Structure 1
């Protein structure tokens, strides 16, 4: 996988969070890259040099609560509208008026809502792994509580402050290795094995993670970088994103059912539960993403899409960027 060149720039810029740390490479139109859980700017290491070589200024942020970005102490400081304003502040702090925004996992939802709420700043949006689904229906907590029968869905498991932290923080590196493996195409549990998205009664998520082998995209040095970030910062800031889903549902009531109309792109993994569970959301794209330029599901790919299949994602991403109006 390509890695950022030595001339990448690390900087921290002011935002409503306090500061947002980012890593940028290249010159040209700004492309803002937003990671998901549990990751960091480093998730885009395979995209930064390729986007720079294609004539773009690529900037990968640490979302608030992660890495070197500010970590507010209040749970409600991690609501979606706050993250949207962080992204807009980054664009302006970099001296730009607008940007294309691309996100993966939670970053996909953050990117979609950034385009929805701040169309004055975000002119196009790329969504990786998690499809866009407009705000609507029952409260998210009610939906997730009904999933899994006697088992507990991971989003529900994450709700109580301190509970998931107690599982993860004693062995951050081991937990991350297990989660990354559980959702990667080459190491995920096979058919007929317990689903790692659910927790058995009295159990933990880690109980269902595969052990002993890293996915091909993840070297020991890469894992050290990820683990080092969370060992330093803890997990409460990242987990707070899950703990604001009902607040987001309330905050975004004015956007109920709203489409994202800017030029858009979707790339999902064929083996990713985010793609299969949300197949109806993908089918609804003619209504919910009327500006969709192209949609791709990569056969045999898991959840960590831009790291599992960097060359393919880079080809699709740079082709889409080249198609956008100047």
Structure 2
């Protein structure tokens, strides 16, 4: 049943981060929305009203380090265990015992780990763009350092504090525009062109970004919102998530190979490297996501699925939510 949609409200709640800024719309069962890099609560702007209209209390957070949420100074403050506890604290601060959690990009991994570690709080989990891959294998830092041969994989490039910041922060708006365009279906580089996931020797990421054209989903005002937040906060808090992957690997050793058993959903983009490179992870879902209800790869869609294809994603989300046990 469609409900009358109320206006969105902004507020901050107390969490282990210090404060977590959130945006809320609607009433009903709680659905917690967790963004990825380099985004903010604003990446869910098209989902909040749709979920509210479908009878849910939709809440999009700024992850610690982003937007109006606290930005701890220590690099290890951005380890996955801390982000999970932030999500639990948000649910409690909202007066709820449990929630459905949905994440995109890094938010998908945060959502999956939240559901894995705190199943009594997170009763179902939706993953956008990044498939669930159980903890295991070699240390991530070693894996990413070996990727690319003479080139450097972007995750390895992000590891040294200050290095990526020096590239991005002199022109935050231009860098974000290029990053979003590089991984959107309608603006990404053609096959055979140097891959923007990698940095050439002595180069920068933006050397390979497409120039002069915004993706269809990204208006000038939308870019202003994203750029305005990062111009104010800097990028260090956001990049510190990447700088904790080895800590996460150590912290989660007890969960090696663990499946996610809650009812789950996956939506990926057919032209997204996260989907194609991790095709084996999607094929493993009968083992790793035994509660999977819906899995869909959207043809002709890039990485920013809920922004590139909002109507389709909203329909998949609301249909999945409606099928969950009360």
TM-score when scaled to structure 2?
Answer: 0.98
Find the residue that maps to 2:58 and give its secondary structure.
strand
Deviations 1:224-267 (A, max 9, x none): 00000000000000000000000000000010000000000000
After TM superposition, list the pairs within 5 Å mapping 1:155-170 onto structure 2. 155-170=155-170
Query: Which residue in the other structure is 1:118 paired with?
Result: 118
1:90 corresponds to 2:95: no
Deviations 1:82-140 (A, max 9, x none): 00000000000000000000000000000000000000100000000000000001000
Find the residue that maps to 1:10 and give its secondary structure.
strand
The count of aligned residue pairs is 322
Query: Which residue in the other structure is 1:248 paired with?
Result: 248
1:294 corresponds to 2:267: no
Deviations 1:153-186 (A, max 9, x none): 0000000000000000000000000000000000
CA–CA distance in structure 2, aligned partners of residues 7 and 124 of structure 1: 26
Query: Which residue in the other structure is 2:76 paired with?
Result: 76
CA 1:167–1:289 in structure 2 vs 1: closer, same or farther (change >3 Å)?
same
Deviations 1:31-67 (A, max 9, x none): 0000000000000000000000000000000000000
CA–CA distance in structure 2, aligned partners of residues 191 and 120 of structure 1: 45
Query: Which residue in the other structure is 1:172 paired with?
Result: 172
Deviations 1:282-324 (A, max 9, x none): 0000000000001000000000000000000000000000000
CA–CA distance in structure 1, aligned partners of residues 73 and 159 of structure 2: 16
Q: Post-superposition shift, 1:145?
A: 1.1
CA–CA distance in structure 1, aligned partners of residues 286 and 14 of structure 2: 37
CA–CA distance in structure 2, aligned partners of residues 275 and 191 of structure 1: 16
Q: Post-superposition shift, 1:6?
A: 7.6
After TM superposition, list the pairs within 5 Å mapping 1:270-289 onto structure 2. 270-289=270-289
Query: Which residue in the other structure is 1:261 paired with?
Result: 261
Query: Which residue in the other structure is 1:53 paired with?
Result: 53
1:17 corresponds to 2:17: yes
CA–CA distance in structure 2, aligned partners of residues 60 and 53 of structure 1: 15
Query: Which residue in the other structure is 2:193 paired with?
Result: 193
CA–CA distance in structure 2, aligned partners of residues 150 and 139 of structure 1: 21
CA–CA distance in structure 1, aligned partners of residues 278 and 147 of structure 2: 14
CA–CA distance in structure 2, aligned partners of residues 311 and 199 of structure 1: 34
Superposed CA RMSD in Å reads: 0.7
CA 1:293–1:60 in structure 2 vs 1: closer, same or farther (change >3 Å)?
same
Instruction: List, as ranges, runs of 4+ consecutive aligned residues in structure 1 with deviation greater than 3 Å.
Output: none
1:209 corresponds to 2:209: yes
Asked if the contact 2:6–2:25 (Cα under 8 Å) also holds between the matched residues in 1, the reply is: no
Find the residue that maps to 2:51 and give its secondary structure.
helix
Find the residue that maps to 1:306 and give its secondary structure.
helix
Query: Which residue in the other structure is 2:312 paired with?
Result: 312
Deviations 1:189-210 (A, max 9, x none): 0011000000000000000000
CA–CA distance in structure 1, aligned partners of residues 86 and 217 of structure 2: 30
Asked if the contact 2:36–2:106 (Cα under 8 Å) also holds between the matched residues in 1, the reply is: yes
Which 5+ residue runs of structure 2 have no aligned equivalent? none
